Amino acid sequence: MPQWKVSATLVAMSERAHVTVDQARSALAGADAARRGLAARGRWLAGCFGAFAVGSAVVVVLIGLGGDAGTTLAMIGWVSLVSVGVAYAATRPVRLRREGWLHAGGWVTWGVVYGAVLAVGHPRHGEVAYWVPAALVSAVPLAVTALVALRWSRR
């Protein structure tokens, strides 16, 4: 039997009567272990945002350096990636605490950065020196969101 179960049982036995320091400490440890155990199952979100970050960088490179064909390919790829991501997220069994805020913050920030990168780069199509760093910059908001999700799944 896991330690937290044993300790939690001891705490229950002392209901109303006598809770020792050791029992209280064990109950706290058990509660913490249970919380961490379930939250860890929400780490899929970090992988999802990581994939979106890579996708964003590829999309920006294709748009900036691939011409019309690259832009078309980028749009098809991005819509496909987002569709797969949404479908995958819908089937996940655990949602991290405040996950909605994480989505909102990540996507809004990404939208602003992505829009700025494309707007600034519009007259520079084909310039590798601009589009490669720009692609990496566009991926930062989603990469940071992935790291936050990973951190939240471990707290």
Partner 1 sequence: MTSTSSTSGPAAPGSHPRHQLDDAIHSPVRLSVVSALSGVDRAEFGEVRDAVEVSDSVLSKQVAALEAAGYVEVTKGRVGRRPRTWLALTGEGRAALRAHLAALRALLGPDLG
Token pair belonging to 15 = 């209901």
Q: How far is CA 49 from CA 80, 87, 110, 117, 124, in A?
A: 15, 14, 11, 19, 28
What is the footprint of partner 1 within residues 85-124 (CB under 8 A)?
A: 90-91, 93-100
Residue range at the interface with partner 1 (CB under 8 A); choices 11-19, 59-67, 113-121, 131-139: 11-19
Least gap, CB of 98 to partner 1 (angstroms): 7
Q: Which of 10, 110, 113 is nearest to 52 (CA)?
A: 110
What is the footprint of partner 1 within residues 13-52 (CB under 8 A)?
A: 15-16, 18-19, 21, 24-25, 27-28, 30-32, 34-39, 41-42
Contact between 151 and partner 1 per CB under 8 A: no
Return the exposure string of 46-66: e unless at least 16 CB atoms fall within 10 Å of the residue's CB, then b. Answer: bebbbbbbebbbbbbbbbbbb
Q: How many residues does the chain have?
A: 155
Q: Fill in the per-residue mask, 47 to 86: x = in contact with partner 1 (CB under 8 A), - = not in contact.
A: ----------------------------------------
Residues 102 and 145 sit within 8 Å (Cβ to Cβ): yes
**Footprint of partner 1 (CB under 8 A):** 2, 4-5, 8-9, 11-12, 15-16, 18-19, 21, 24-25, 27-28, 30-32, 34-39, 41-42, 90-91, 93-100, 155
